[in-house]
Structure 1
Amino acid sequence: MARPKSSQHEFKRDEILDAAAQCFADRSYPAASMNDIALACGTSKARLYHYYGSKEAILFDLLDRYTQRLLAIIGHAEATAQRRNLDERAALHELIRSFLQEYETSATRHVALLGDTKFLGDAQRELILNRQRDVVSAVTRFLRRAYPQRLNAANQTAVTMMLFGMINWTFTWLRPGGAMSYAAFAEEVIATLERGLAGGA
């Protein structure tokens, strides 16, 4: 019987994924090598291969875990809204805050999700894309419930992508410790939605 993997094994994988995400963001996925990732981890390439058989395996694990994390944030937001008996707008606002709290510490993972999914094999790429679609569908449901008089079959996709357009590219300009915090930006996004969508309700 195979020995169970230790918590240290998973901790090492997390370290590798952190380093790999930074390498992919700094150098681009095609340019980053297993040797670059090993150096960033302070280990040997042989040791790196003990955990991952290829650079693509690292990318897939990175995106697999990250998309699961995004879906977990949505599930947690839904459960929190029910537990706290929040109205639909407050539930959406909490989801936006939760996404931006996550983005503050996962910018390099988000870069990989937006730019590197295309480098996966067909089956793995489709799995990640389906998770992204699930995230978009869930946010659409939050928006539709929050602003039922403004969203309809014709505009709901556009409004959902407008929201993602506001928050998904923060890694290009919003910096932890900068003039505006991620938490403050979340409130600006919420205020924009309220003025723009609630105004015509």
Structure 2
Amino acid sequence: MARPISASHDLRRDEILNVAAACFAQRSYPATSMNDIAAACGTSKARLYHYYESKEAILFDLLDRYTQKLLLIVAQVEAKAQRQSLDERAALHELIRAFLREYETSATRHAALLGATQFLGEEPRELILDRQRDVVSAVTRFLRRAYPERLDARNQTAITMTLFGMINWTFTWLRPGGAMSYAAFAEEVIRLLDQGLASST
């Protein structure tokens, strides 16, 4: 009979993913070795291989968990909007706030998603890209519901990507404890978006 996997096994994998994400953000994925990750974890490379068979396996688990988390955020906001009978604009605003709350604690994971997905093998890469497309599609839905008079088939992609352009790269400049908090920035994004898209109504 196979030995059951202990609870500490999953906890250790979480620790490895946290460290690996930081290494990828600092050095880049190609420049980071299993030795680097092991050293940053305070363990041996042999011990690291007990948890992950390769650097790519670490990257995939990191991105697999993170993209699932982003989709879960979408589902949670949709459920909250329905439960609290939020109007469509309020639901979109909640989604923006929820994404930025996540980004505040997931900067290195988000950096890996935007900069290292290309290094996965074809099948795992397509799975992660499909999840990213699902997130983009969900945000487009929120935007179309919030501003039906402004978004149509011609401009919805441009407007959706404008929103992502405002929030997706915060890991490069927005710092917890800095002059502006993530929560305050979320309100600025909402204000810019709402005033810009509502101006022609």
Q: Normalized against structure 1, the TM-score is what?
A: 0.98
Query: Which runs of 5 or more structure 2 residues have no equivalent in the other structure?
Result: none
Structure 1 counterpart of 2:106 = 106
Q: Could you tell me which residue of structure 2 aligns to residue 78 of structure 1? A: 78
Q: Could you tell me which residue of structure 2 aligns to residue 18 of structure 1?
A: 18
What amino acid is the match of 1:118?
A: Q
CA distance in 2, matches of 1:98, 1:7: 29
Equivalent residue number for residue 9 of structure 2: 9
1:124 aligns with 2:124: yes
1:179 is aligned to 179
Q: CA RMSD in A?
A: 0.7
How far residue 98 of structure 1 moved from its aligned partner, in angstroms, is 0.3
Q: Paired residue for 1:36?
A: 36
2:48 is aligned with 1:45: no
Cα deviation code 1:27-84 (max 9, x no counterpart): 1101100010011111111110000000000000000000000000000000010011
Which whole-Å deviations, capped at 9, do the CAs of 1:121-172 have from their partners, x for residues lacking one? 0000000000000000000000000000000000000000000000000011
Which residue type is aligned with residue 10 of structure 1?
Answer: D
Secondary structure of 1:142's partner? helix
Distance 2:4 2:102 in 1: 30
Give the match for residue 153 of structure 1: 153
Mean alpha-carbon deviation: is it higher for 178-187 or for 4-13?
A: 4-13
Give the Cα separation in 1 of the matches to 2:47 and 2:148. 54
- Name the amino acid aligned to 1:79: A
Q: How far has the Cα of 1:178 moved from its partner?
A: 0.1
Q: Quick one: which amino acid aligns to residue 80 of structure 1?
A: K
Distance 1:86 1:128 in 2: 30
Quote the residue 1:27 is aligned against: 27
Count of residues in Structure 1 that have an aligned counterpart in Structure 2: 201
Secondary structure of residue in 1 paired with 2:111 = helix
Distance, in Å, in 2 between the alignment partners of 1:141 and 1:4 is 43
Deviation of 1:200 (Å): 1.4
Partner SS, residue 185 of structure 1: helix
Q: Percentage identity across aligned positions? A: 79
- The TM-score, its normalising length taken from structure 2, stands at 0.98
1:91 alignment counterpart: 91
Q: Could you say which residue in structure 1 is the equivalent of 2:135?
A: 135
Aligned letter for 2:192? T
For 1:179 and 1:58, the matched residues in 2 are separated by: 34
Could you tell me which runs of 5 or more consecutive residues in structure 1 were left unpaired when the two chains were aligned: none
Q: Provide the C-alpha distance between the structure 2 equivalents of 1:102 and 1:173, rounded to a whole number of angstroms.
A: 16
Residue in 1 aligned with 2:197? 197
CA distance in 2, matches of 1:24, 1:86: 39
Distance 1:86 1:4, change over 3 A: farther
Amino acid at match of 2:159: V
